[in-house]
Amino acid sequence: MKFLRFHRFRLRAPDGSVSEPLTRAGYLLRAGARMRKAHGPYQVGVKNRDLGPRKGLPRAIASLGRVAREAEVGEVVLVHPAAGPDIEARKVQIRQKVWQTSGNAKVDRFATIAAAHFGPLENDGALVCKTIGSTSTPSQHSDWPTLAAKLARKFGFGSAADSAGANAIDLFTGDRKTQTACFYWTIDQADEFGVANAIFWPPESPHPLIWNREHGLHEYEIPPGGSDHRFHQHTDFLPTRTPPTRC
């Protein structure tokens, strides 16, 4: 059984209770809200070490992001305001079982980490033998054979066997606001995951959007018989696969 490990933060409340494990972004959001209720200037650092110089709120929040990123697992990140209770969070490591999606290793890793960030996700389709809409072009959801070993390594697979299976996944988060956040997060993390295309129709957009490396974020032209991606996000990965498939 495969697992991925993630860094998280457990934020201590003024009453001594401890939060659920938070992503760094979630921790910074909550800590920043508490800093705004306190009175600066603020010192930021790791507990039981020398804290940094006193700073105003914007610079202190920026420093907090850096300290949280660089802290070791088990250390306590500390914000000490001039007036008000200290804000403490312990950096922890959690282990999460890799989501077996029937996709290749990139698909599994992306889906697992997306779920860790955005909560329970519904897999609306990974391995599906089909074409794109009513065209004759095989979908990246098709069952693709292994890549040649050298090509698999070039595109970040641990082995050629890891490259077999679907090269795409459709995810649904349960609400379009969260789905929109997941879509833009995917674009921001495209290099980390080797994303080739991400497609979704955000509520604020007059048309569906697609991001790819060639053209960035732009209008998605729905192919004949294809989905408008209003209620799910499609993501596929490099290298874009071409026939033959194993379907």
Closest CA to 237 of 193, 199, 207: 193
47-94: pLDDT as tens digits: 988 898 999 999 999 999 999 999 998 999 999 999 989 999 999 877
With residue 104 as reference, give the H or E element that holds it.
none
Is there a single domain that holds both residue 232 and residue 135?
Answer: yes
Is there a single domain that holds both residue 78 and residue 191?
Answer: no
> Binning pLDDT at 50, 70 and 90, where does residue 120 land?
confident
- Read off the tokens for 64: 């907090």
Is there a single domain that holds both residue 133 and residue 68?
Answer: no
Is there a single domain that holds both residue 183 and residue 207?
Answer: yes
pLDDT, average across residues 124-143: 90
**Residue 103 — φ and ψ, nearest 5°?**
-95, 180
Is there a single domain that holds both residue 75 and residue 131?
Answer: no
Is there a single domain that holds both residue 15 and residue 66?
Answer: yes
Is there a single domain that holds both residue 112 and residue 216?
Answer: yes
247 lies in some domain: no
Is there a single domain that holds both residue 68 and residue 103?
Answer: no
Is there a single domain that holds both residue 60 and residue 102?
Answer: no
Domain that holds residue 47: 3-94
Q: 40, 64, 94 — which closes off a domain? A: 94
Domain count along the chain? 2
Question: What's the pLDDT at 31?
Answer: 95
Is there a single domain that holds both residue 37 and residue 122?
Answer: no
Question: What's the pLDDT at 99?
Answer: 66
Q: Distance between CA atoms of 247 and 231, rounded to whole angstroms?
A: 26
Q: Distance between CA atoms of 116 and 200, rounded to whole angstroms?
A: 20
Is there a single domain that holds both residue 109 and residue 224?
Answer: yes
The answer to whether the CB of 159 falls within 8 A of the CB of 180 is: no
Query: If you search the block for the tokens 């969070």, which residue do you land on?
Result: 89
What does the longest C-alpha to C-alpha distance in the chain come to? 67
Fill in the DSSP letter of residue 136.
S
243 lies in some domain: no
245 lies in some domain: no
How much of the chain, in percent, has pLDDT values that exceed 90? Answer: 69
Fill in the DSSP letter of residue 169.
E
The answer to whether the CB of 82 falls within 8 A of the CB of 54 is: yes
Is there a single domain that holds both residue 49 and residue 61?
Answer: yes
69 lies in some domain: yes
146-197: pLDDT as tens digits: 999 999 999 999 999 999 999 999 998 878 889 999 999 999 999 989 999 9
244 lies in some domain: no
246 lies in some domain: no
Model pTM above 0.75: no
Q: 94, 124, 151 — which closes off a domain? A: 94
Fill in the DSSP letter of residue 209.
E
Q: 94, 109, 128 — which closes off a domain? A: 94
